[in-house]
């Protein structure tokens, strides 16, 4: 009875407010969706994954936003999200499914669920999506690129990559695939979306483990150090040798004329104009397990985002630092956080 | 001298306790004891025995049976899928499955998948909670499950055919033959279980997809009495399973698992006056194939072989039972993901028991030596005391262990040979109340178990998972069992109930381990009148945590399951019985693993012919 009363009061009140305001101000009060200012954290899951959203002031965290909106699950082992216009495409590699949602409301639009086989990463170009599929984990021979029409959400064609495949980027009308798989592989291949063929492969270096692309350059962390590939000429433009004091570098990401990378539980950065790779840590964080560190890592607008997956038996931890290494936020999301995506 | 040694140890360990005897184990002469250690050396522990009739009454696998009849919690990835037990809050790898006296947990992962063992072909199953490493070696930490084939020399010939059909096109057939005379005994059982297992997921519009399975089991047992009190016995078992793994999401790749195991054991038993000498030679072979995607099959295979010999000398003098045990075990394994290697284990054990008036006491030791890990010194000591005719108590203290498995040791790029075995120190105490007429029996047990160096696979660099001796766990709780029976002329009533309260805490975080319910209750009611029998079974599983953080949202809800069974023995044909079962009577929607719904209400009919 009381509930009903409250409900009607609210209803009346809202009608009153709505009728009092003009159309423009309604748009201001309720923007395009709940997930306007902030970032998504993708949680891989064990096995069923989820997406969390954190407001840009780190005040409001929403977990399992897809489930709560659509009363459905996203699939097992979520790998990555790619975006095009107002849509987000969430890739589940355990369930061979790409869930298409409105990126601001997270309302389900459709799913892409055929002709995928362990999809990992995707990018878009000219109305098409290009998604890397691993197929059989034990071999790179069957890895392929699925070309998806973003209008029909159908896989148009598939192209064999001929090698392991992981990350994928679009730059200046060309598609680039990192040919590695969990630490195996050392090259990058170039795909021409006009002819749907792989046109060139470049050996980047032994132990290639991560890449990032910015302004026509690819930054690649290898066991030899950090390599910069000029994508236009598709050749290695510069090599920064691995500093003696670091065993390895991982998780390369570029932000504002500086390249960031990790080693152990520390974060480093080097200005793009610098001579050598810096071995001076910006920050070192405590991980509650010795492993599962930097399961997700990203630098955006001079803020450092770290996802620590712990032992994968409970929600992972998100840590946000400023560029000087001061902690500015600390919260938990869900099992296996592996990526940050900014609105 | 020996007596003094024995007494001094006992006094040491139990200095403040003065007790006397109980148990007199009666074994008919014409039945050969297969698993002698559990019969003789279970002092201080409770053993629950189940007959073959009870085994055949339950449909399907070891999972179905234990779930109903014991306090074990079993989690299944959907019905019939990978099933692992938690025995007193421990893990599947800390539960030993013992076949005719031999530990048969997988060499690869150290556990038995309880959905890959058909129980209907066995003659007896015993469940003993608590440590058993002194007699059974690795893995007997939470408890042990003993599957036994009986060898009779009573001249009887028996043929039994059991056939069950039910929902989801589930078909289970058993054919069993046994025959014997004074000097020979033969028994053979073939059983088969298959199911489409395509049940509807309750409260959804989805169906269980790719959940079908087909299991075959063959048991062969042959025994002969030779001259001068020598007996030669062969036990053989062959198992073949073809099981698909049900999908979480309809678009998942369809995977399946094939396994083929065979086990052979030859026993030569000689009786001298006070001595019994038992030599056993055994060979076990286990093979599996995992196919990650049945549309583009690229099987990953592994194959393990174990050869072992065990010599056991039993000496019985007056009120003492001694058993000296020595064993040599050689295992080798190879596979697509394993570095080919071998492991040897040599073990020596001494078990001793004494009856003195109302007190039975036992002290046992075991030391193993292996080429790949250092083994701890193991012991077990127990006391039974009969206070009154109707009340007795039991106590047991033991140290048990689990060795690293082949996967832990030799998994390609991940296995580590510097792992230590898991060690468990535990104690338990029980009180047993039994009326003179044996109409009512109540037992209550309190247990405590401290486990260190638990091996867990945790993620290392480059997404490779590696085993580590990381966890320390403390488990404690209560178990209680009630059995009641009463006959009023033609009306026969029987009631059983068990309840377990289990705390299983990670010592570092103080949190309850995942998938260990704090409460479990089982019950069974039987009413018989003439040729009719009605049975109602119930299980209550308390809520449990799915994540180690124990947050309020990370739970699986508690549930109640009821089964109803009606049996009728057809009068004109004495040995023909027909029964009908309704399982999950109330159509409860439940899961034992997150996002893995179990079947709603379903039905079986069963026919049994016994000649």
Shortest distance between the Cα of B442 and any Cα of chain A, in A, equals 39
pLDDT tens-place string over residues B482-507: 999 999 989 999 999 999 999 999 99
Element (H, E) at B314: strand B300-317
pLDDT tens, residue by residue, B245-286 = 999 999 999 999 999 999 999 999 999 888 999 999 999 999
Q: Flag if A312 and B248 touch (Cβ within 8 Å).
A: no
Contact B248 A313 (CB under 8 A): no
Question: What's the mean per-residue pLDDT of chain A?
Answer: 89
Contact A116 B594 (CB under 8 A): no
Most A CBs within 10 A among B249, B544, B545, hence the mutation to make, goes to B249
Name which of B249, B462, B594 is nearest A95 (Cβ-Cβ): B249
Residue A85 has pLDDT above 60, yes or no: yes
SS3 B7: helix
Residues forming beta bridges with residue A174, ordered by sequence position = A171
Q: Determine the 3-state secondary structure of B168 from DSSP.
A: helix
Q: Vertex B373, ends B367 and B374: CA angle to 5°?
A: 40
User: Which residues on chain A are in Cβ contact (under 8 Å) with B463?
Assistant: 182-183
> Quick one: how many helices (H) and strands (E) in chain B?
6, 35
Flag whether pLDDT at A71 surpasses 80: yes
Q: How many CA atoms lie within 13 A of B354 on its CB side?
A: 17
Comparing CB atoms, the residue among B253, B296, B460 nearest residue A291 is B460
Tokens of B24: 């007199």
Q: Do A315 and B551 touch (CB under 8 A)?
A: yes
A5 to chain B, closest Cα gap in Å? 30
**Calpha distance B222→B219 (Å, rounded):** 10
Q: How distant is the Cα of B300 from the closest Cα of chain A, in angstroms? A: 10
Pick the closest to residue A255 from A243, A240, A237, A269 (CA basis).
Answer: A269
Residue B33: count other Cβ atoms within 10 Å of its Cβ. 18
Mutate to test the interface with B, among A94, A291, A308 (most CBs of B within 10 A): A291
CA distance B246 to chain A (A): 12
**What are the counts of helices (DSSP H) followed by strands (DSSP E) for chain A?**
3, 28
- Per the CB < 8 A criterion, the answer to whether A103 and A90 are in contact is no
The parent domain of residue B289 ranges over 4-610
* pLDDT for B455: 87
Contacts 24+ apart (CB under 8 A), B222-226: B222/B184, B222/B185, B222/B186, B223/B32, B223/B151, B223/B153, B223/B184, B223/B185, B223/B186, B224/B183, B224/B184, B224/B185, B225/B153, B225/B182, B225/B183, B225/B184
> What pLDDT shows up at residue B316?
92
Query: DSSP 3-state assignment of B549?
Result: coil
Residue B520, pLDDT score: 97
Q: What is the mean pLDDT of residues A105-109?
A: 97
**Under 8 Å CB-to-CB from B336, ≥6 apart: which residues?**
B300, B301, B302
- B486 neighbors B472 (Cβ within 8 angstroms): no
User: Which ipTM did the prediction report?
Assistant: 0.83
Q: Is B466 helix (H, G, I), strand (E, B) or coil?
A: strand
- How far off is chain A from B299, nearest CA to CA, in Å? 10
Using an 8 Å CB-CB cutoff, list residues of chain B that contact chain A: 248-253, 292-293, 296, 298, 300, 456, 458-464, 514, 547-549, 551, 554, 594-595
With contacts defined as CB-CB under 8 Å, which chain B residues touch A44? none
Burial of residue B227, with CB atoms counted within 10 A of its CB: 0-12 exposed, 13-18 middle, 19 or more buried = exposed
Question: Smallest CA–CA separation between B554 and chain A, in Å?
Answer: 9
Across the interface, of A96, A113, A289, the residue whose CB is closest to B458 is A289
Distance of residue A183 Cα from the nearest chain B Cα, in angstroms: 6
Is residue B188 within 8 A of residue B176, CB to CB? The reply is yes
Residue to test with chain B: of A95, A313, A315, A316, most B Cβ within 10 A: A313
Nearest residue in B to A250, CA atom: B462
The answer to whether residues B124 and B51 touch, using CB atoms and an 8 Å cutoff, is: yes
Say how many domains are in chain B.
Answer: 1
Distance CA B264, CA B133 (A): 22
Give A70 to chain B, closest Cα distance, Å: 14
Prediction pTM value: 0.87
Q: Which candidate in B459, B512, B513, B514 is best for mutational testing of the A interface (most A CBs within 10 A)?
A: B459
Using 50, 70 and 90 to split pLDDT, how confident is the model at A23?
very low
Residue B159's pLDDT is 94
When CB atoms are compared, the residue of A118, A137, A314 closest to B549 is A314
Min Cα–Cα distance to chain A from B562, Å: 30
Q: What is the separation, in whole angstroms, between the first and last Cα of chain B?
A: 55
CB contact under 8 A, A313 and B462: no
Asked whether A170 and A216 are in contact (CB, 8 A), the reply is no
Q: Residue A96: which of B252, B461, B463 has the nearest Cβ?
A: B252
Residues of A in contact with B456 (CB under 8 A): 311
Facing residue for B459 by CB, picked from A96, A309, A314: A309
Q: Cβ(B566)–Cβ(B582) under 8 Å? A: no
- Element (H or E) spanning A154, and its range? strand A154-160
Cα separation, B391 vs A195, whole angstroms? 87
Contact across the interface for A314 and B554, Cβ inside 8 Å: yes
Measure CA A323 to chain center. Answer: 20
What pLDDT does B56 receive? Answer: 82
Element (H, E) at A307: strand A303-308
Residues of chain B with Cβ-Cβ distance to A311 below 8 Å are 456, 458-459, 548
- Sign of torsion over alpha carbons A232, A235, A237, A243: positive
**Which of chain A's residues have a Cβ under 8 Å away from the Cβ of B300?**
138
Residues 6 or more apart whose Cβ sits within 8 Å of residue A260: A251, A252, A253, A254, A267, A268, A269, A297, A299, A304
Question: Measuring CA to CA, how many Å separate B51 from each of A324, B120, B123?
Answer: 71, 10, 6
Q: Which chain B residues are closer than 8 Å to A67 by Cβ? A: none
CB B119 within 8 A of CB B55: yes
Bond before B265 cis per omega within 30 degrees: no
Q: Give the H or E element holding residue B103.
A: strand B102-103
CA A301 to chain centre: 16
Q: How far apart, in whole angstroms, are the C-alpha atoms of residue B237 and residue B218?
A: 6
User: Rounded to whole angstroms, how far apart are CA atoms B427 and B460?
Assistant: 36
Interface size A-B, in CB pairs within 8 Å, comes to: 77
Q: Are A79 and A296 in contact (CB under 8 A)?
A: no
pLDDT digits (tens, 9 = 90+) for A170-209: 999 999 999 998 778 899 999 999 999 999 999 999 999 9
Residues of B in contact with A309 (CB under 8 A): 459
Average pLDDT for residues A144-157, to the nearest whole number? 97
Q: Which residues of chain B have pLDDT under 50?
A: 1-3, 5-29
d(CA A120, CA A137): 12
Task: Copy the structure tokens of residue A153.
Answer: 């959400």
What is the Cα gyration radius of chain A?
A: 22
For strand B143-148 and strand B95-99, is the pairing parallel, antiparallel, or unpaired? parallel
**pLDDT for the residue numbered B21:** 31
Which residue in B has a C-alpha nearest to residue A338's C-alpha? B463
Asked if B547 lies within 8 A of A335 by C-beta distance, the reply is: yes
Nearest residue of B to residue A248 by CA position?
A: B461
* A134 CA: distance to closest CA in chain B (Å): 12
Judged by average pLDDT, the poorest of A236-240, A313-317, B335-339 is: B335-339
Averaged pLDDT, A100-108: 96
| Minimal Cβ distance to A47: which of B248, B549, B551 | B248
The C-alpha atoms of residue A263 and residue A293 are separated, in whole angstroms, by: 10
Query: Closest Cα of chain A to B463: distance in Å?
Result: 7
Distance CA(B449)–CA(B466), nearest Å, equals 26
Instruction: Answer whether B425's CB lies under 8 Å from B399's CB.
Output: yes
- CA of A291: which chain B residue's CA is closest? B460
Residues whose CB falls within 8 Å of the CB of residue B12, separated by 6 or more in sequence, listed in order? none
- What CATH number is given to the structural domain containing B44? 2.40.170.20
What does the pLDDT read at residue A158? 97
């Amino acid at each position: 009875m009381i509930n009903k009363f409250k409900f009607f009061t609210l209803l009346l009140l809202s009608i009153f407010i709505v009728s009092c305001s003009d159309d423009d101000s309604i748009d201001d009060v309720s923007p395009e969706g709940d997930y306007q200012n902030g970032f998504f954290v993708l949680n891989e899951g064990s096995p069923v994954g989820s997406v969390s959203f954190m407001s840009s002031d780190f005040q409001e965290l929403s977990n399992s936003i897809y489930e709560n909106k659509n009363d459905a699950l996203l699939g097992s082992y979520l790998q990555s999200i790619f975006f095009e216009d107002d849509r987000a495409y969430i890739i589940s590699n355990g369930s061979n499914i790409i869930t298409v949602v409105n990126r601001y409301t997270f309302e389900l639009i459709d799913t892409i669920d055929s002709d995928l086989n362990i999809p990992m990463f995707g990018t878009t170009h000219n109305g098409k999506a290009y998604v890397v599929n691993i197929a059989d984990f034990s071999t790179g021979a069957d890895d392929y690129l699925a070309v998806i029409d973003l209008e029909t959400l159908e896989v148009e064609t598939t192209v064999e990559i001929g090698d392991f495949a992981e990350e994928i980027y679009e730059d200046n009308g060309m598609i680039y695939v990192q040919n590695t798989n969990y630490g195996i592989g050392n090259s990058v291949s170039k795909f021409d979306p006009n002819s749907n063929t792989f046109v060139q492969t470049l050996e980047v270096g032994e132990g290639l483990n991560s890449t990032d692309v910015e302004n026509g350059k690819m930054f690649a962390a290898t066991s030899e150090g950090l390599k910069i590939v000029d994508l236009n000429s598709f050749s290695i433009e510069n090599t920064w040798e691995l500093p003696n004091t670091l065993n390895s570098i991982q998780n390369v990401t570029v932000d504002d004329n500086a390249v960031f990378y990790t080693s152990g539980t520390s974060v480093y950065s080097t200005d793009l104009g610098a001579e050598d790779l810096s071995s001076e840590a910006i920050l070192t964080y405590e991980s509650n397990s010795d492993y599962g560190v930097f399961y997700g890592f990203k630098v955006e607008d001079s803020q450092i985002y770290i996802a620590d997956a712990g032992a994968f038996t409970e929600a992972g931890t998100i840590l946000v630092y400023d560029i000087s290494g001061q902690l500015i936020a600390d919260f938990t999301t869900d099992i296996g956080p592996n990526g940050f995506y900014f609105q | 001298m020996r007596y003094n040694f024995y007494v001094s140890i006992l006094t040491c360990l139990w200095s403040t306790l003065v007790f006397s005897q109980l148990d007199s184990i009666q074994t008919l002469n014409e039945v050969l004891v297969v698993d002698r250690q559990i019969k003789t050396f279970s002092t201080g522990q409770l053993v629950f025995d189940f007959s073959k009739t009870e085994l055949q009454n339950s449909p399907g696998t070891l999972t179905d049976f234990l779930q109903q009849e014991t306090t074990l919690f079993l989690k299944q990835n959907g019905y019939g899928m990978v099933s692992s037990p938690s025995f007193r809050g421990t893990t599947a790898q800390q539960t030993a499955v013992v076949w005719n006296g031999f530990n048969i947990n997988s060499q690869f992962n150290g556990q038995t998948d309880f959905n890959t063992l058909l129980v209907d072909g066995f003659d007896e199953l015993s469940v003993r909670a608590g440590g058993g490493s002194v007699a059974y070696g690795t893995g007997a930490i939470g408890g042990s499950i003993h599957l036994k084939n009986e060898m009779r020399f009573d001249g009887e010939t028996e043929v039994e055919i059991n056939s069950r059909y039910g929902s989801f096109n589930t078909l289970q057939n058993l054919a069993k033959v046994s025959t014997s005379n004074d000097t020979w005994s033969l028994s053979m059982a073939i059983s088969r279980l298959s199911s489409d297992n395509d049940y509807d997921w309750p409260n959804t519009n989805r169906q269980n997809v790719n959940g079908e399975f087909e299991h075959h089991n063959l048991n062969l047992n042959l025994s002969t009495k030779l001259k001068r009190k020598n007996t030669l016995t062969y036990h053989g078992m062959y198992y073949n399973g073809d099981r698909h793994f049900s999908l979480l999401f309809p678009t998942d790749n369809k995977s399946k698992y094939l396994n083929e195991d065979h086990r052979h054991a030859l026993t030569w038993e000689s009786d001298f006056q006070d001595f019994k000498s038992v030599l056993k030679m055994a060979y076990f072979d286990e093979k599996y194939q995992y196919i990650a995607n049945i549309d583009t099959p690229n099987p990953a295979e592994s194959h393990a072989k174990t050869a072992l010999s065990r010599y056991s000398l039993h000496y019985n003098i007056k009120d003492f039972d001694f058993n000296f045990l020595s064993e040599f075990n050689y295992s080798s394994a190879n596979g697509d993901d394993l570095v080919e290697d071998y492991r040897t284990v040599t073990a020596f054990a001494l078990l001793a028991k004494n009856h003195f008036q109302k007190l039975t006491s036992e002290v046992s030791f075991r030391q193993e030596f292996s080429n790949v890990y250092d083994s701890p010194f193991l012991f077990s000591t127990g006391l039974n005391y009969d206070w009154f005719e109707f009340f007795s108590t039991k106590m047991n203290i033991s140290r048990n262990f689990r060795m690293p498995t082949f996967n832990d040791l030799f998994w390609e790029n991940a296995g580590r040979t510097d792992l230590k075995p898991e060690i468990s120190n535990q104690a338990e105490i029980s009180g047993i109340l039994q009326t003179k007429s044996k109409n009512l029996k109540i037992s209550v047990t309190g247990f405590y178990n401290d486990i260190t160096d638990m091996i867990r696979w945790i993620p290392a660099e480059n997404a490779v998972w590696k085993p580590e001796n990381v966890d320390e766990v403390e488990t404690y709780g209560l178990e209680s069992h009630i059995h009641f029976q009463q006959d009023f002329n033609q009306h026969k009533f029987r009631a059983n109930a068990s309840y377990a309260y289990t705390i299983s805490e990670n010592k570092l975080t103080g949190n309850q381990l995942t998938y260990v319910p704090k409460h479990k209750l089982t019950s069974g009611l039987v009413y018989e009148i003439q040729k009719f029998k009605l049975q109602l079974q119930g299980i209550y599983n308390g809520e449990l945590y799915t994540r180690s953080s124990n947050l309020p949202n990370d739970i699986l809800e508690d549930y109640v399951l009821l089964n109803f069974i009606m049996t009728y023995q057809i009068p004109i044909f004495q040995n023909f019985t027909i029964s009908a079962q309704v399982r999950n009577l109330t159509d409860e929607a439940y899961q034992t693993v997150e996002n893995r719904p179990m079947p709603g209400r379903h039905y079986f009919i069963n026919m049994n012919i016994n000649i």
